[in-house]
Structure 1
Amino acid sequence: MKIDLRKAHDSIEWDFVEDMLYALKFPRRMIGWIMQCVSAHAYTLPLNGPSLVTLKDGEASGLHINKDNSDIYMNEVAAADEQAILSISGFKKGSLPFKYLRITISYKRIFNVECSILVDKLVARIRGWGAKHLSYAGRLLLVKTVLTQIHSYWARIFLLPKAIIHKVESICRAYLWSGTKEHHKAPAVAWDKCCLPKNQGELGILNCYNWNIATLGKYIWWVANKKDCLWVRWVHHLYIKQHDWWHYSPTTNSSWTWRQLCKVKALLEPGFVHHNWLQAPYSATAVYKWLSGDHLKVSWQPFVCNRLTLPRVNFINWLFIKSRLLTKDRLAKFGVIIDGVCYLCGTLQETLKWRGRSLLHKKLILAALASLVNFIWEGQNKCRVENWVPHPEHIRKRIQDVLSDRLTSLRMERVHSWDMNWVKEVGLL
């Protein structure tokens, strides 16, 4: 067995590197040193005075085989041949299962206990965020960019047990709605809805199960297209043989991992057949969208996805549109309070019912309306907790300040002059 670690400098034109160093005005003497180091097979450096250390090709980059941590996995190999391989390579014989980057690799079934590290990682991240008291929008960002991405790494390797996927989704859901790893109350919006795309009026959170299936679909694509790699040749020789891949069914003595991949194939076969996925490079994103299904787009999506509106305001307005804000009429319905009169007007019941040029004008109006809803909601909470009613002029000034700050932070080079004049006339700039 021969292991070759191909280094970056094996394919670099050294003349080009030297020309670039001269173009960047490096000192001539330093350029000579650099070129001697990167192009020579061995060189000597002084270390602590007169002591000399000689570095041979490959040592400077650190790309060496760590024989202490390298294993060879063999099956049905004669004892004499096995011993010869171990003696020549200097490696030790490994056994299944083993862990690679803390992920269990095995041909046998993966149980929940092997995947508990994934759950532990999510919980550890949440513990580090618990004291930050983030808004809904802040927690949503962490769920989408950190928690689901930790799961995404595991999802690319094998089909996760459904119990683990449910636990991951439970942790993400709890953190979104409560900021902790556990949430014992009913969420404001069902998790399946939260995982739908933004253009369908939802949050666009990753659906863990669908993404797991979509990422494993690349192996189905590899086998179908007979990609030139050892694993594909091996499964064709051992399992598929002369059978047609799309009509192949695994035998009972096949490995657990292979049977799981065949289940993924059965799920994705309609897409491969009817959408010609085999004729183009595999795209997990496209397959994920197909698995998510087609849903009607909503007309109010710009109201809750407006760049001129603060993200936390967008989230509150999303709850507002879906009638999920805990207004007094809903709290009274749940038996939490008795009095349902609005704190601000003092006469009517507090409910979510309301009546309701250029693109910049429309966006600013929507942003102002979104901010108004948010600040009225904040005012009602202040009335409930602090017994203080904000003055309408105070709310108007806060809306003006928010829109002014958002306009200042965004690029305004492409805004027409008449739009700029209008913005200045209303006092936003």
Structure 2
Amino acid sequence: MVEKMVSRIRSLGAKKLSYADRLVLVNSVLNTLHNYWSGIFLIPKCVVKRIEAICRNYLWDGSADFHRVPSVHIKGRSWHDYQPPPDVSWSWKNVCKVKELIKDAYIEDQWAPDSNGFTIRRCYEWLRHRAAPQIWAPVVCNSWNVPKHSLITWISMNNGLNTRAKLASFGYCQEQLCCICESSTENQEHLFFQCEYSQRVLQEIKQWCGFRVDVTMAGLGISGTSMKGLKQQVHCQLWTSCHYHIWFERNNARLNAVITPPIKLAERITAEAKTRILSKIGSSICGQDGVWLRKWNCMVT
């Protein structure tokens, strides 16, 4: 039985399979062979272990014989007190980081948050509820937003955009001036809040919609308190749209040395906003919201 399994693995086709294909082969062929023989004979324990080793080696290495020494991280030590050395892999460091996060959930080695015991789902829910809610989450994750606008804004809120200042801190960029105005260091605070180009774009949008679209964190307070209903939804949509298009123009200036005039960019943003509004409400809205939208030429007559 072992020879038959090894011969299957050593065949020419089996060596060229991908990881997913090897997994299918192990489950559908090798394990089936094992189950067939198990129904006829009582297989010795040493043979079962050999079969498991063959399947495991083939799945991970593509060969029946595994010559590499596996990594041993914990041996004879307590998992709760274990600290990863600096030369381990990124994935193992993240596993250990999660271990540190869930330490508080254990009392005398027992999972405390749920009497039914530990599961991955319960652990995830416990970690998710412990995290402090972000003030920008309802605005960024809004159904009125264009998905790609929400994505760029989400990255921006997590300080993940590769501005020149950030790239310079990694040693990948020597020039740190803003790609658009070339007057100050290009970081997220300057690009969205202080750059003259961004301020002119926001001023043009204000003239169109009648209220200030504040892309700072204070703008989140505006959308959450003083604005309600339709105006709040539109403000969220414009808020994320401005982040996306300003970042788009920054990349356009950096890669193509082309900058769209602020008036033209504001027109593009407002045109997208009109299309988004119409797709959400159609022509059935009335009352004060209807009057408000007619001033923007957003109503279908």
Provide the TM-score with structure 1 as the length reference: 0.37
Q: CA RMSD in A?
A: 4.9
The corresponding residue for 2:255 is 385
* Distance in 1 between residues matched to 2:108 and 2:126, nearest whole Å: 11
Shift of 1:319: 1.6
> What is the Cα deviation at residue 412 of structure 1?
5.8
Aligned length: 202
On the 8 A contact 2:274/2:298 being kept in 1, the answer is: yes
- 1:275 is aligned to 2:145: no
Q: Which residue of 2 aligns with 1:333?
A: 169
CA-to-aligned-CA distance 1:111-149 (integer Å, 9 cap, x gap)? 9646549xxxxxxxxxxxxxxxxxxxxxxxxxxxxxxxx
Confirm or deny that 1:288 pairs with 2:129. Answer: no
Q: CA deviation at 1:312?
A: 1.7
Alpha-carbon displacement from aligned partner over 1:22-45 (angstroms, at most 9, x marks no partner)? xxxxxxxxxxxxxxxxxxxxxxxx
Q: 1:335 to 1:71 in 2, by over 3 A?
A: closer
Distance 1:422 1:323, change over 3 A: same
* 1:361 partnered with 2:221: no
RCO greater where, 1 or 2, for CA within 8 Å and sep 6 or more? Answer: 2
DSSP-derived class of the 2:188 partner: coil
Deviation of the 1:379 alpha carbon: 0.7
* The structure with more helix, counted as a fraction of residues: 2
Q: Name the CA distance, whole Å, in 2 between partners of 1:416 and 1:114.
A: 67
The yes-or-no answer on 1:305 pairing with 2:141 is yes
Task: Spell out, residue by residue over 1:49-68, the C-alpha distance to the aligned partner (whole angstroms, 9 max, x if none).
Answer: xxxxxxxxxxxxxxxxxxx9
Q: State whether residues 71 and 92 of structure 1, in contact with CA within 8 Å, keep that contact through their aligned partners in structure 2.
A: no
SS at match of 2:259: coil
Cα drift, residue 92 of structure 1: 5.1
Q: Which residue of 1 aligns with 2:196?
A: none
Determine helix, strand or coil for the equivalent of 1:317: helix
User: Does the CA-based 8 Å contact 2:278-2:298 persist in structure 1?
Assistant: no
Is contact 1:309–1:403 with CA below 8 Å preserved after alignment? no
Structure 2 CA distance for aligned equivalents of residues 347 and 363 of structure 1: 34
| CA–CA distance in structure 1, aligned partners of residues 115 and 286 of structure 2 | 45
TM-superposed CA distance for 1:420, in Å, is 3.5
Mapped partners of 1:169, 1:413: distance in 2: 52
Change (3 A) 1:336 1:361: same
Percent identical: 17
Partner secondary structure for residue 307 of structure 1: coil
Report the counterpart of residue 344 of structure 1 in structure 2: 180
8 Å contact 1:72–1:93 — kept in the other structure?
A: no
User: Structure 1 residues 403 and 73, CA, compared in 2 at 3 Å: closer, same or farther?
Assistant: farther
1:309 CA drift (Å): 1.5
CA distance in 2, matches of 1:422, 1:96: 81
Rounded Cα–Cα distance in structure 1 between residues aligned with 2:268 and 2:56: 51
**Cα distance 1:331–1:425, how it changes in 2: closer, same or farther (>3 A)?**
same
Looking at structure 2, the residues matched to 348 and 377 of structure 1 have their Cα atoms a distance apart, in angstroms, of 16
Deviations 1:345-375 (A, max 9, x none): 2323322112453232122112212111111
Matches within 5 A, 1:410-421: 410=280, 417-421=287-291
The unaligned stretches of length 5 or more in structure 1 are 1-67, 75-90, 98-103, 118-165, 171-189, 193-206, 210-264
Q: 1:364 and 1:416 mapped to 2: Cα distance?
A: 16
- Deviation at residue 327 of structure 1 after TM alignment: 1.3
Instruction: Tell whether 2:265 aligns with 1:424.
Output: no
Q: Distance in 2 between matches of 1:94 and 1:266?
A: 44
1:376 aligned residue: 246
CA contact (8 A) 2:234 2:277 kept: no
Query: Per the alignment, do residues 410 and 267 of structure 1 end up closer, same or farther by CA in structure 2, a change over 3 Å counting?
Result: farther
